[in-house]
Structure 1
């Protein structure tokens, strides 16, 4: 009788067939024989479900494989200096087994709780793990789709004089090597997309975690979760506070985002020139938030972690509020001129994270720019143009981590999106000939702020 050594696994008993299932940046539709996912890699994972692929409400949860005290500290050469933290860790040699049971009433996955019936059910599912594995009911974890799963090789015609070559074996070996490299690259990318997310950050943004029968925490949210500032409340119809009689007790949790106010970026009591400069260069506001939310680690991990969290929730859950916060964080960082010199490590890390996010933004159906609607990539392109101009003025040819990361990002967006970030290469005004031969003068409104025209034009007011 063959035996299997259990690996980190998440079991999903009673999950209906044809349910949309997502694990990190991979999505698929469940089958009747699907019972869970095995071989989970160490680190953060986000599992979510939906009754349909597009229009249904999505519900998901974050969980961690391995020692969670290591989460959020970064794992790359540009990692910021962090303080050591003490968190409960386990030396239990047994593999981590998560059990999330499907609830037909709420159409979500519910973790088994700390009660006698759930403990007995948990023991029963773990005892049957071997037969489920042998029956092929566990999906092997993948961080991205392998090439062999996308394209099936076609048999080639062989000339009569050509020597006989075992082509299927060669193709199988090539596919195996390509699949291994793709998987290794995917896991490395996923780690880079989540290496600033910490348990404290998730608890601040989402709320306290649920704890299952084995003491594993998970942070639950839905695609309808939102921050108060991004919610549309209609007076007389709904109540933001949820305190009205008959209000739903299980109402959506509100996100506890870092309060980024782009309309007020100066210190309390600032007047005159100081206030004007702080409105054009938001370095003071950025520094204030970095100091306020340094938390358990120095160097801005809370802001970097929130930048990662919001991006991933846009891709996987299509969450509108997370999209708005992601854009607010980028605009704050990329309009802080002094921070290019004074907070070089933080700014270079923002660029590194953004570059990796853009490389994976099309992994999920629709992609980032499609989700953003009509604005698409115009918002981000405008920010990068302004940052490029600021870096050229302040840094020049001097050695700088910010300039190095921006150069790499500029090269990638030029090749992928044909974006020009150098201000001198953009045509701000010109004549456009229409189909009927008429010529009209066109302006690029992206330059209004720098040239103080349009809505940014100065006004004379009576005091």
Structure 2
């Protein structure tokens, strides 16, 4: 875990940075923090010099044949000089949930000098990138969005329906009566509620109560009413939390490999880009949205555009709507300048042309 860092910053992080002790992780396991990942070696015991703040830690077990298992991770708000301890559960191939006693923590604190050579330094050269990708994710927002078990898993965890002797007897009798129905042979599986990410649900009512037919048509074309009600009801009017969830969803998808998070990211981005009237009311929100999308698009791998964006044209279609709203609406002058500068940047970098509208409503590629 080599890391280039200037001496002064290294001194500050060595003194003020947090430490993650991660014990018993099998050699060959994939381990990462933020946008950095490594293959665990025999001497790995964790990471030191972690800048205080919110980070995403993740891991994937690896079989003897070299196959990588599903990715699991967790967000953690590291404090100055904090020591966080996690232990590997070999049976479940995951992190143990048992708390560490205060006596044990004290032993770790007193032994940090000997532990230092087994700890890799946080790759500070990538820290600015992480900050730009997570700048609106707050501790309060994490508490609301994260699953109860605080783990972000790339696979859905199911649980069988609870049973006792009476319920099993009743199920057996029912099965005997309907043996011909093969569906009765399948177990009843439900998603483990402790593992569900609490993504925000958009306001369902698309127009105000009592709207006229013309008003219903207007709100069907412009999502500003849904955006406004979602900000009020789901974010308690903290509009920047909406950007925080866009970042949270993007991180969970790109790093945590959670597909549902990609779906949520699309919903929120489309909601904002399709809200023409809101441009005049939420200048700061939209100014910052452009920055968020700018950094996110920079981090998306090239094959992502080929496999997802180019195939379904989600991002190009959505941004086309946004830029049309910017030009047709009445946004603040600074917002309009920033949006059009962003449009020009995308056109230059990806050869997307948002100035013309082809038959299928998708931007064309500049030859």
TM-score of Structure 1 vs Structure 2, range by shorter chain: 0.7 to 0.9
Q: Distance in 1 between matches of 2:221 and 2:102?
A: 58
Equivalent residue in structure 1 for 2:345, among 412, 433, 451: 412
Q: Distance in 2 between matches of 1:419 and 1:46?
A: 32
Q: Distance in 2 between matches of 1:223 and 1:197?
A: 20
Match of 1:124 in 2: 107
Match of 1:176 in 2: none
Match of 1:63 in 2: 76
How much has 1:351 moved relative to structure 2? 1.5
The TM-score, its normalising length taken from structure 2, stands at 0.78
Match of 1:446 in 2: 361
- For the 8 Å contact 2:55–2:75, the answer to whether it is kept is yes
Match of 2:151 in 1: 220
Deviations along 1:375-433, whole A, 9 cap, x unmatched?
A: 36x211111112111211224xx85232233123223322321111212xx5x2xxxxx
> Does structure 1 residue 380 correspond to structure 2 residue 315?
yes
Match of 1:286 in 2: 227
How much has 1:267 moved relative to structure 2? 2.6
**Structure showing the higher helix proportion among its residues:** 2
How much has 1:252 moved relative to structure 2? 5.3
How much has 1:225 moved relative to structure 2? 4.8
Q: Distance in 1 between matches of 2:310 and 2:239?
A: 32
Task: Give SS of 1:402's match.
Answer: helix
How much has 1:47 moved relative to structure 2? 0.3
Q: Distance in 2 between matches of 1:55 and 1:374?
A: 28
Q: Distance in 1 between matches of 2:348 and 2:67?
A: 30
Q: 1:385 to 1:373 in 2, by over 3 A?
A: closer
Q: 1:37 to 1:252 in 2, by over 3 A?
A: same
Q: Distance in 1 between matches of 2:138 and 2:26?
A: 32
How much has 1:5 moved relative to structure 2? 5.5
Q: Distance in 1 between matches of 2:198 and 2:85?
A: 28
- For the 8 Å contact 2:19–2:49, the answer to whether it is kept is yes
In the TM superposition, 1:32-51 aligns within 5 A as 32-51=42-61
Match of 1:156 in 2: none
Match of 1:139 in 2: 120
Give 1 or 2 for the bigger CA radius of gyration. Answer: 1
Q: Distance in 2 between matches of 1:6 and 1:126?
A: 14
Moved more, 50-59 or 192-201: 50-59
Match of 2:217 in 1: 276
How much has 1:111 moved relative to structure 2? 5.4
Q: Distance in 2 between matches of 1:119 and 1:205?
A: 29
Q: 1:405 to 1:56 in 2, by over 3 A?
A: farther
- For the 8 Å contact 1:225–1:319, the answer to whether it is kept is no
In the TM superposition, 1:225-304 aligns within 5 A as 225=156, 237=186, 239=188, 241=190, 253-260=195-202, 265-295=206-236, 298-304=237-243
Q: Distance in 2 between matches of 1:64 and 1:206?
A: 13
> Does structure 1 residue 12 correspond to structure 2 residue 12?
no
Q: 1:54 to 1:205 in 2, by over 3 A?
A: farther
Match of 2:179 in 1: none
- For the 8 Å contact 2:72–2:151, the answer to whether it is kept is yes
How much has 1:112 moved relative to structure 2? 5.1
- For the 8 Å contact 2:133–2:247, the answer to whether it is kept is yes
Task: Give SS of 1:445's match.
Answer: coil
Deviations along 1:183-242, whole A, 9 cap, x unmatched?
A: 2xx323322221221222222222457xxxxxxxxx32211259xxxxxxxx97565756
**Coordinate RMSD, CA, aligned:** 2.9
> Does structure 1 residue 341 correspond to structure 2 residue 322?
no
Deviations along 1:273-293, whole A, 9 cap, x unmatched?
A: 111110101100001111113
Match of 2:254 in 1: 315
Task: Give SS of 2:276's match.
Answer: coil
Task: Give SS of 1:337's match.
Answer: coil
Equivalent residue in structure 1 for 2:85, among 99, 114, 125: 99
- For the 8 Å contact 1:334–1:387, the answer to whether it is kept is yes
How much has 1:251 moved relative to structure 2? 6.0
- For the 8 Å contact 1:50–1:57, the answer to whether it is kept is yes
Deviations along 1:290-310, whole A, 9 cap, x unmatched?
A: 111333xx4412211110100
Moved more, 36-45 or 47-56: 47-56
Task: Give SS of 1:188's match.
Answer: helix
Task: Give SS of 1:61's match.
Answer: strand
How much has 1:23 moved relative to structure 2? 0.5
- For the 8 Å contact 2:207–2:226, the answer to whether it is kept is yes
Q: 1:353 to 1:64 in 2, by over 3 A?
A: same
Match of 1:200 in 2: 140
Match of 2:324 in 1: 389
Q: 1:204 to 1:7 in 2, by over 3 A?
A: closer
Query: How many residues get paired?
Result: 321
Match of 2:165 in 1: none
How much has 1:332 moved relative to structure 2? 0.6
Q: 1:281 to 1:20 in 2, by over 3 A?
A: same
